[in-house]
Amino acid sequence: MPHDYYHETRDYWLVNLASQLKSPTLMRIDINIPVVDGRIVEDNMRLIAYSHVLELLSDYTGLIVTAHQGRPGEPSFINLKQHWISLRKLLPSKIDIEFIPKNRVFTDETKRRIKELKENEILLLDNVRMFDEEYNFNPERSSYISFFKEIVKSCVNDAIPVWHRAHTSLMALPYIAQTWIGVRSIYELKALSEVQNVSNDCAIIMGGSKLQKTSYLVKILSKMEGFTGGLPGQLIARVKGFDLGPRNNAFLNSKMSKKDFEAAKMLVNKFNIHHPIDFVVLEDGDVREVPIEEMYRCNGIIMDIGMNTVELYAEKLQQKLFRIRAGPLGVYEKGFANGIVLTKMIAGSGLIFLGGDTTTEIVRYGLDKIILSTGGVMCISGGAFLHGLAGESYPSVDLILRQKNINP
């Protein structure tokens, strides 16, 4: 049976901040956000959400906050100084947040600062992925555990977007001190639990620039209806035999691997997956909508799903209790936002947005407050939500559930 972590973790929810938090508190969050030309995208829901969480918790404890940004070798792999500047803008002036760069993290000076931390004081430590130990968790040899264990009094794991990773900054927490599940993670676990406990009354709308892990999709699509847009929508249409025109076919081949095509064929043979029936195409500076049957003679680039697709999807999705949006359906950065039109048509209770570019799109078009006010849920977790939806385990949460045996 897959985990229902929402109910299983009840004894470890952070629900009484005054009694559960002891200063100083070590807290893992996830402010990994898009980076464009070396600059973070500041109007990002993860930054906004965690600024509220940090403001709430810092009234009760001094906080040592850890997080990551990007992966080694990628352009988005940068330090957290920009995140610190953004958080400083978002947090009220009464809160003192200080950035500790990589070369000062594991030092006697930082250890002294941690011991002196008071309420409304936050230390943001640099990108945890800049340290080799992050990818190699070994509790018996962990310098991470040995550094924090004698000075930290409580821990909070509020990094649900990376719960599918068995990384040191997550796994080490129960070895350091009493560890609680953070308030933001509880909120998202509730949404996950509700979907897990309803069968055949859910749908997932898959967009973005890649096909999710096949192992996830097989398990997810066995429980719910699938709708596609973005590159996954083009891929599904292509393996169903539709010619999308020479430029789009070539672009799809450059972005999707042979393994992706094979996975898509398997999914199409196994499940009823909907693909767009028309596209918004940019050709020679002109924007027009083209039915999928006529795409073979089109030399334009696909920018979005068409309005006939929006109408069809909305009609089918309104019949579902839960509608999960995972990834943009068009190039929203350039104003192609029929995904926003679809969102408005299926708004209300049961609409769930997954993190990353999906929520960035909604925030950019000013729909976030409307969605939240009309019964929708906006998650900062993306791949980790799908990981849980597929019935997979969260290794760092499993340790929290066993922490009485780890750190008696």
Q: Which CATH superfamily is domain 5-186+392-406 in?
A: Phosphoglycerate kinase, N-terminal domain (3.40.50.1260)
Distance CA 35, CA 127 (A): 14
Average pLDDT over residues 157-170: 97
**Each residue's pLDDT tens digit, 64-77:** 999 999 999 999 99
**Each residue's pLDDT tens digit, 322-373:** 999 998 999 988 999 999 999 999 999 999 999 876 777 888 888 888 888 9
Quickly list DSSP for 135-180: GS--TTT-HHHHHHTTT--EEEE--GGGTT---HHHHTHHHHS-EE
Q: What is the pLDDT of residue 221?
A: 94
Average pLDDT over residues 133-161: 96
Average pLDDT over residues 390-399: 96
**Half-sphere exposure (CA, 13 Å, Cβ side) for 175?**
18
**Each residue's pLDDT tens digit, 102-127:** 999 999 999 999 999 999 999 999 99
Average pLDDT taken over every residue of the chain: 94
Q: Which CATH superfamily is domain 189-389 in?
A: Phosphoglycerate kinase, N-terminal domain (3.40.50.1260)
More confident residue, 200 or 256: 256
Given a cut of 70, whether residue 408 has pLDDT beyond it is: no
**Each residue's pLDDT tens digit, 242-259:** 999 999 999 999 999 999
Average pLDDT over residues 303-319: 97
Q: What is the pLDDT of residue 1?
A: 63
Confidence of residue 396 (pLDDT cuts 50, 70, 90): very high
Q: What is the pLDDT of residue 376?
A: 94
What pairing do the DSSP bridges indicate for beta strands 154-157 and 25-28?
parallel
Distance CA 7, CA 4 (A): 6
Locate 255 and state its tokens: 């972005």
Q: 3-state SS string over the chain?
A: CCCCHHHHCHHHECCCHHHHCCCCEEEECCCCCCEECCEECCCCHHHHHHHHHHHHHHCCCCEEEECCCCCCCCCCCCCCHHHHHHHHHHCCCCCEEEEECHHHCCCHHHHHHHHHCCCCEEEEECCHHHCHHHHCCCCCCCHHHHHHCCCCCEEEECCHHHCCCCCHHHHCHHHHCCEEECHHHHHHHHHHHHHHCCCCCEEEEECCCCCCCHHHHHHHHCCCEEEECHHHHHHHHHHCCCCCCHHHHHHHHHHCCHHHHHHHHHHHHHCCEECCCEEEEEECCEEEEEEHHHHHHCCCEEEEECHHHHHHHHHHHCCCCEEEEECCCCCHHHCCCHHHHHHHHCCCCCEEECCCHHHHHHHHCCCHHHHHHCCCEECCCCHHHHHHHCCCCCHHHHHHHCHHHHCC
Q: What is the pLDDT of residue 343?
A: 92
Given a cut of 80, whether residue 407 has pLDDT beyond it is: no
Any idea where the domains of the chain sit in the sequence?
5-186+392-406, 189-389
Confidence of residue 181 (pLDDT cuts 50, 70, 90): very high
Q: What is the pLDDT of residue 209?
A: 83
Q: Hey, what amino acid is at 150?
A: E
User: Cβ(329)–Cβ(338) under 8 Å?
Assistant: yes
Q: Which residues, 6+ apart, have CB-to-CB distance to 369 below 8 Å?
A: none
Q: What is the pLDDT of residue 266?
A: 96
Given a cut of 80, whether residue 301 has pLDDT beyond it is: yes
Q: What is the pLDDT of residue 405?
A: 85
Q: What is the pLDDT of residue 19?
A: 96
Average pLDDT over residues 209-215: 84
